[in-house]
Amino acid sequence: MVTKFGAIRWCHNEGPRTLVLIILLLVNVIIFAVTLSHYEQSDAVYYHRLMLGHSLAFARASAACLNFNCALVALPVCRNLLHFLRYLCVNKRLCKRNVRRLIDDNISLHRALAWLICFHAALHAASHYLNIERFVHAFDLPAGGNSSAGGSLLRTLSLLPGHRGINPVQRAGADPLVEAAVLLPGWTGLLLLCLLVAIVASAATAVKRARFETFWYTHKLFFLFYLLLLVHGMAGVVRPQSNLAAHKPAACASKFQLWGSGSLPECPVPTFSFAGSTTWMWLVAPAAIYAIEKLLRVSRRCRRVEVVRAVQHPSRVMELRLRCPGFAASPGEYVFLLVPEASQLQWHPFTLTSAPDDPYISVHIRTVGDWTKQVEQLYSQCYGKGDLTTGERDLLPRIYLDGPYGTASDGVTQYSVSVLIGCGIGVTPFASVLRDVWHQAGKTRSLRKLKRLYFYWICPDCRAFEWFAALLQDLERDLQRMDGDDYAQLLDIRVHLTGSVETRQAREIASREGDEADCLTGLRTRTHYGRPNWDLELRNLAAKHPDTSIGIFFCGPGQLAKDLNGRCNEFSNSTSSVFYFNKENF
């Protein structure tokens, strides 16, 4: 039964993101409506409306929205800006939990802005194509004759001397497509559309998984996109009337045959001039922020990073242990790595699996693509050597590090009950969190509000457990030693094997059923076979922790994320506890 607080609790989990998207849409609607109204009513474009109709107003309104959205689209992926905002929220506690979760959802805002750009770009292009067709039609209209006074007016406007006219088409029988290609806004607009299609298409999930390099390189074309955007409006195809004080369009339009004759001094020849492009005004502030962002990233590239050890784990997972003077990170944060011998340009994100108290920085890399295969080949020579000497480190390929940057895992200790759910290699964001819990468990440092931590690890392959099991074994052993301490009841580990088990392994599992430790993981906690029943798991959590805010932290497939998010909303509405869903985004 849904509680009377159901809608309020839904707002706790979904409200902030929904509110931001609604505000974004409303701002777009307001900008569009205000600009549309201006171009439908302004006397400065009176003659443009006669020649072009409503398509001019739609083109200018969509252009204003494009300026707004293009100014914002890069900000949600400015990692240093987000890291600073996260620091204010988490460390300085200047904002509520829901506001911090908005920062974790930055990719959704980036995508929403991208789709708005696509919509307004399509509307802008279609409107301007209609404008070009009407420009061509106006130039081809016959001159003279009272029966075609409207056509004669458009023809007169098209033939005004010099650059004072409003019709960029100056050829009879012109092809609209050719005219669009010749004009500066036409060919730059076509290039902008091609770039936009390439950038959006390469960001599809299927492309990113199969060809991450394609996504990475295509997204770097945004520099060219913004450059063309600045150039796009510099030609001044739309030229507002500049002598409105001397020439009133509403009164003089019907007397166009007497313009400039001297017999009608109150209706001189109208003049039109370009007021200048305003696109740069929208982009200057975001460009400054992004420039600072790039400077910070470049400065970090100068830091010396040493490879201390390379470890080969099962399931094609390689662990790199690094040392970087002055580097400090919080649990759950991630870094970007650049290996010039693998690629001079590609920075790849990896979650830190080391804790702040570890004497090294560690990342676990699963070999799944061209870049990761090259990195594995470069450092595979270090397998089995232990910690490398200074001379051995100097001979290795250089590696650069950018970061650290915060993720949703920063908020684990902000809940009294937190649930970590990792699927396969998706366990890496929580490795650092668990190691930090392990270190803090033996000290007097506070874990803030955290009283209970549940950890679910879901794997399709038995061998995938091996590389992470050692940490869990040490963590479980050390926590269980602390009898009488609150930390002894802190961690609850749930391991699930979803893949098939070989006959030999099944026999071994059956023969060791009475052993104290699980034969697959070496943990006291038994491995469960099959996927977790999330309805049952969340219902049990709500029963064990009534009237509690429970943080769910997930890293894994998108479909399971949607499923868990929906269940968190459902159980927040039907139980006394509130489930907050947090997903790792890179």
Model pLDDT, residue 158: 82
Predicted TM-score of the model (pTM)? 0.80
How far apart, in whole angstroms, are the C-alpha atoms of residue 499 and residue 459?
A: 7
Residue 189 and residue 231: Cα distance in Å, rounded?
10
Q: Name the pLDDT band for 481 (thresholds 50, 70, 90).
A: low
Q: Pairing mode, if any, of strands 317-323 and 306-313?
A: antiparallel
Average pLDDT over residues 84-91: 76
Query: What letter represents residue 44's amino acid?
Result: A
**Per-residue pLDDT tens for 124-138?**
999 999 999 888 888
Cα–Cα–Cα angle for 457, 211, 370, rounded to 5 degrees: 80
Cα–Cα distance between 430 and 424 in angstroms, integer? Answer: 12
Predicted pLDDT at 145: 42
The pLDDT value given to residue 384:
72
In terms of Cα–Cα distance, which of 353, 332, 472 is closest to 411?
Answer: 332
* pLDDT at position 149: 45
φ/ψ of 458, rounded to 5, equals: -115, 120
The answer to whether residue 484 scores a pLDDT higher than 50 is no
Whole-number Å distance between alpha carbons of 295 and 78: 12
* Per-residue pLDDT reduced to its tens digit, 486-545: 445 677 888 888 766 555 555 555 555 555 556 566 566 777 777 888 888 888 888 888
DSSP string, 323-392: E-TT----TT-EEEEE-TTT-SS--EEEEB-S-TTSSSEEEEEE--SHHHHHHHHHHGGGTT--SPPHHH
How many helices (H) and strands (E) the chain has is answered by 21, 12
Q: pLDDT value at position 413? A: 78
User: How far apart are the C-alpha atoms of 54 and 93, rounded to whole Å?
Assistant: 51
Token pair belonging to 130: 């209609």
Higher-confidence position of 287 and 149:
287
Q: What confidence tens digit (pLDDT) does each residue in 376-407 have? A: 888 888 887 777 777 778 788 888 888 788 77
The confidence band for 26, taking pLDDT boundaries of 50, 70 and 90, is very high
Position with higher pLDDT, 464 vs 332: 332
Task: Give residue-wise pLDDT tens across range 282-299.
Answer: 999 988 998 898 888 888
DSSP H or E stretch at residue 320: strand 317-323
Token digits of residue 486: 């609150």
pLDDT tens for each residue of 434-469 = 777 766 655 554 555 778 888 888 877 666 666 666
Kindly report the average pLDDT of the chain as a whole number. Answer: 80
Structural domains in the chain, CATH included, are 6-238 (no CATH), 303-405 (2.40.30.10), 411-583 (3.40.50.80)
Q: What is the pLDDT of residue 66?
A: 95
pLDDT digits (tens, 9 = 90+) for 338-376: 888 888 878 888 888 887 777 888 888 888 778 888 888
